[in-house]
């Protein structure tokens, strides 16, 4: 039985309680959004690229079976073993099985939202393996026993003083050191040893190419490459939707991904793995875990276009001000607020409402997912399923009824102006509704718009209201 | 057939056919009046050092004079016709032996002006680990191999999709601590690019 997660507003309230931190978080993300804009505006064909990317994704998501089989065939011919998994449990068992058959004890892992989704780390640790996340941000959150708060920048919520304290405790750096350069160097030394000692490397997958049977992994740090070039065993874990038809499609996606994600023209390393390394072994695990269901949903299919660039998070006024952990989900932010409730509506009821419907996410999304439309639609879906609190439903019903009855609306307007004049701020009903708590009410105008309009309307045909 | 595969394919069989066409990849993609110049500018922007060489001999000389070569003890070169005292990579049995590699030199197949990236594959590189494990990386690219944009690169026919290959743009980097850019995360700390100008 699914239980409701702590709702977004409750967790967000804790986040904003520390004003300075919330403000700093907001600014850091906006800084990345601005870098993204510079890159996007630097390419005259930006909008055309987005349109093509969206179309390629829509095409592949609607022909998944064909492309997955083609991928399997080509990858197998290159010497890769392809596995299929229905859900997280099966996925984890497959990975464990491969590792066990090679007697693996130490695993290095590069960033993969999918393995976070499957909670692979705790599962493997439970079975006695050492799993080290090698992306710097992910290593930081792993050492803090936390989950990433952002899909591209996992430790965006953590300050350098905190990293300094953490590293001094766990890695023996000087106490009080906060210089990012010094701390990064310490992590480099620490993780180099882990790379050299590892028996296997696990990576995520940014793109899987049906035409060639290859996979592409993008990083800036080079951690994925080190992790699968030293040990002989490489396991790549991917969601079914990562498939693209042609290798040349990368000419579209790689131009969009890093520009949208961090405002770089391309990631430092975009590695194309076609088959295992010399003398090595390579496995790809294809995971469904609810994706097929979304692929069949005419209203939400496009959510599978997502290439996990994180741009919708960086731009979202709610995400920036409430932090990734307020979403209680592996993928937070706008796209997370679509994907999570689609999979488990009961757990994530509050997410589609953590949105002002400003539409900024849809504007920046490199694969043109109509995110804010989907969020809006999810709200009505949740209502239909009876998953919405009575207070919210009641308000909506009341406003809906008012808007349908002009006379009542007029009367209501009169009453509202009267009470504003007499009671001022009290009229916001702070003690009754959440809405009123952070808002001030304006002083009512002397002349209503209706009166003004009726007096000033053009004489040739302007309507009396 | 595995059980999960059968189940997933069965579920997908019910997928409604919305048949969106796969778009063509030709288009009005960005062109530069001087792609080589643009390539150099972009590469410098993403923290690489760019050097121009007139021919192979000049290239050898340039490499031997690089700052990273000053104190280098372990150097390995996989580029043809570059005379640098170096370890022979194919004689190394296990990539772990490259732990102390200081400088690695390789030749790229394509350069891309729009993003400063160089395509390197492991055709001539016995251990791909060398590309990432080395402290300093030197990549050689002929100016005639520099194209305008990624789409041109993928349709050039030069890229081999039956082996490992990688776009490398700049030295390794991270901004995971408070968004401060730090060069030298896990991979190379510096990237020197030698552009060999067409004779
Ligand atoms: S929904 Fe779009 S903007 Fe958001 S992470 Fe996915 S691709 Fe990026």
Cα-to-centroid distance, A334 and ligand 1 (Å): 8
Residue-range definition of the domain harbouring residue B74: 32-196
CA nearest to B113, candidates B145, B155, B79, B158: B145
Ligand 1 within 6 A of CB of A53: no
In a domain, B119, yes or no: yes
Predicted confidence at residue B17, as pLDDT, reads 65
In a domain, B9, yes or no: no
Cα-to-centroid distance, A308 and ligand 1 (Å): 5
The residue contributing the CA closest to ligand 1 atom 3 is: A365
Residue A303 has pLDDT above 90, yes or no: yes
Predicted confidence at residue A450, as pLDDT, reads 85
Report in angstroms the alpha-carbon separations of A241 from A135, A205, A284: 23, 11, 14
Looking at this predicted complex, what is its ipTM?
0.97
In a domain, B27, yes or no: no
Ligand 1 within 6 A of CB of A369: yes
Higher pLDDT: B94 or A434? It is B94
Predicted confidence at residue A36, as pLDDT, reads 97
In a domain, B61, yes or no: yes
In a domain, B165, yes or no: yes
Residues in chain A with CB shorter than 8 Å from the CB of B8 are 68, 84, 86, 240, 286, 288, 292
In a domain, B7, yes or no: no
Q: Which domains does chain A have, with CATH numbers?
A: 43-158+199-292 (3.40.50.10420), 309-391 (no CATH), 404-456 (no CATH)
The beta strand positions in A145-274, using DSSP E, are 200-203, 207-209, 214-219, 233-239, 243-244, 269-273
In a domain, B112, yes or no: yes
Ligand 1 within 6 A of CB of A365: yes
Higher pLDDT: A383 or A26? It is A26
Verdict on whether the full-model pTM lies above 0.90: yes
Predicted confidence at residue A411, as pLDDT, reads 87
Report in angstroms the alpha-carbon separations of A7 from A12, A14, A451: 9, 12, 43
User: For the segment A238-284, what is each residue's pLDDT rounded down to a tens digit?
Assistant: 999 999 999 999 999 999 999 999 999 999 999 999 999 988 999 99
Mean pLDDT for chain B overall: 94
The beta strand positions in A240-375, using DSSP E, are 243-244, 269-273, 281-287
Could you say which of A31, A134, A229 has the minimum Cβ distance to residue B129? A229
Count of pairs with CB atoms under 8 A, one residue in A, one in B: 247
Q: What is the CATH number of the domain that holds B45?
A: 3.40.50.10420
Q: Is the CB of A142 inside 8 Å of chain B's CB atoms?
A: no
Predicted confidence at residue A447, as pLDDT, reads 85
User: For the segment B122-164, what is each residue's pLDDT rounded down to a tens digit?
Assistant: 999 999 999 999 999 999 999 999 999 999 999 999 999 999 9
| Interchain CB distance below 8 Å, A62 and B129 | no
Mean pLDDT for chain A overall: 93
User: With contact defined as beta carbons under 8 Å apart, do A410 and A454 qualify?
Assistant: no
Predicted confidence at residue A362, as pLDDT, reads 98
Residues in chain B with CB shorter than 8 Å from the CB of A153 are 175-176, 179
Which of the four pLDDT bands, split at 50, 70 and 90, describes residue A402? confident
For residue B87, what is the DSSP state?
B
In a domain, B11, yes or no: no
CA of A361, closest atom in ligand 1 = 3
Which of the four pLDDT bands, split at 50, 70 and 90, describes residue A397? confident
CA of A309, closest atom in ligand 1 = 8
CA of A308, closest atom in ligand 1 = 5
Predicted confidence at residue A64, as pLDDT, reads 94
Predicted confidence at residue A1, as pLDDT, reads 44
Cα-to-centroid distance, A306 and ligand 1 (Å): 5
Q: How many domains does chain B have?
A: 1
Report in angstroms the alpha-carbon separations of A209 from A34, A213, B158: 31, 5, 18
Predicted confidence at residue A159, as pLDDT, reads 96
User: For the segment A67-116, what is each residue's pLDDT rounded down to a tens digit?
Assistant: 999 999 999 999 999 999 999 999 999 999 999 999 999 999 998 999 99
Q: Is the CB of A317 inside 8 Å of chain B's CB atoms?
A: no
């Amino acid at each position: 039985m699914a239980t409701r997660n702590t709702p977004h507003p409750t967790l967000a309230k804790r986040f904003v309680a520390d004003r300075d931190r919330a403000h700093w978080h907001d600014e850091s993300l906006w800084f990345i959004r601005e870098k993204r804009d510079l890159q996007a505006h630097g390419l005259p064909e930006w909008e055309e690229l987005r349109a093509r990317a969206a179309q390629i994704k829509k095409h592949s998501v609607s022909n998944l079976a064909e492309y997955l089989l083609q991928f399997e065939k080509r990858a197998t011919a290159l010497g890769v073993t392809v596995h299929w998994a229905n859900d997280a449990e099966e996925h984890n068992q497959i990975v464990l099985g491969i590792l066990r058959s090679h007697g693996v004890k130490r695993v290095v892992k590069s960033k993969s939202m999918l393995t976070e989704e499957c909670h692979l780390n705790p599962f493997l640790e439970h079975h006695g393996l050492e799993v080290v996340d090698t992306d710097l941000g992910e290593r930081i959150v792993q050492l803090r026993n936390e989950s990433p708060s952002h899909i591209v920048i996992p430790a965006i919520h953590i300050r350098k003083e905190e990293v300094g304290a953490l590293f001094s405790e766990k890695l023996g750096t000087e106490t009080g050191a906060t210089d990012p350069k010094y701390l990064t160097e310490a992590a480099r030394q620490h993780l180099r040893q882990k790379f050299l000692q590892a028996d296997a490397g696990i990576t995520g997958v940014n793109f899987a190419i049906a035409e060639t049977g290859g996979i592409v992994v993008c990083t800036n740090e080079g951690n994925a490459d080190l992790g699968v070039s030293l040990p002989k065993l490489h396991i790549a874990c991917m969601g079914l939707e990562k498939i693209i038809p042609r290798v040349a499609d990368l000419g579209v996606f790689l131009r969009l991904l890093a520009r949208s994600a961090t405002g770089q023209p391309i990631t430092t390393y975009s590695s194309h793995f076609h088959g295992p390394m010399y003398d090595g072994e390579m496995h790809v695990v294809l995971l469904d875990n609810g994706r097929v269901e979304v692929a069949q949903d005419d209203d939400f299919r496009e959510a599978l276009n997502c290439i996990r660039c994180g741009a919708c998070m960086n731009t979202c006024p709610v995400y920036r001000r409430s932090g990734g952990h307020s979403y209680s989900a592996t993928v937070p932010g706008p796209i997370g607020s679509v994907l999570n409730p689609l999979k488990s509506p009961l757990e994530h009821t509050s997410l589609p409402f953590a949105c002002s419907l400003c539409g900024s996410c849809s504007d920046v999304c490199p694969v043109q997912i109509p995110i804010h439309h989907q969020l809006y639609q999810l709200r009505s879906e949740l209502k239909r399923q009876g998953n919405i609190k009575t207070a919210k439903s009641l308000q909506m019903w009341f406003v809906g009824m008012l808007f349908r009855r002009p006379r009542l609306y007029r009367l209501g307007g009169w009453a509202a102006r009267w009470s504003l004049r007499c009671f001022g701020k009290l009229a916001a009903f702070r003690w009754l509704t959440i809405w009123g708590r952070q808002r001030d009410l304006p002083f009512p105008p002397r002349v209503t718009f209706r009166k003004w309009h009726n007096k000033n309307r053009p004489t040739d045909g302007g309507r009396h209201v | 057939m595995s059980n999960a595969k059968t189940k997933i394919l069965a579920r997908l069989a019910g997928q409604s056919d919305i048949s969106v066409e796969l778009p063509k990849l030709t288009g009005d993609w960005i062109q530069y009046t001087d792609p080589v110049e643009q390539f150099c500018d972009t590469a410098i922007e993403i923290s690489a050092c760019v050097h121009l060489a007139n021919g192979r001999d000049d290239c050898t000389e340039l490499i031997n004079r690089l700052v990273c070569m000053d104190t280098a003890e372990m150097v390995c070169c996989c580029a043809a016709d570059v005379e640098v005292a170096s370890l022979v990579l194919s004689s190394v049995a296990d990539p772990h032996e490259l732990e102390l590699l200081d400088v690695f030199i390789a030749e790229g197949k394509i350069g891309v002006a729009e993003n400063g990236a160089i395509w390197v594959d492991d055709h001539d590189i016995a251990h791909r680990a060398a590309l990432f494990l080395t402290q300093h990386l030197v990549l050689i690219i002929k100016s005639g191999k520099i194209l305008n944009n990624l789409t041109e690169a993928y349709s050039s026919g030069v890229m081999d999709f039956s082996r490992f290959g990688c776009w490398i743009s700049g030295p390794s980097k991270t901004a995971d601590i408070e968004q401060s850019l730090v060069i030298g995360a896990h991979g190379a700390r510096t990237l020197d690019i030698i552009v060999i100008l067409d004779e």
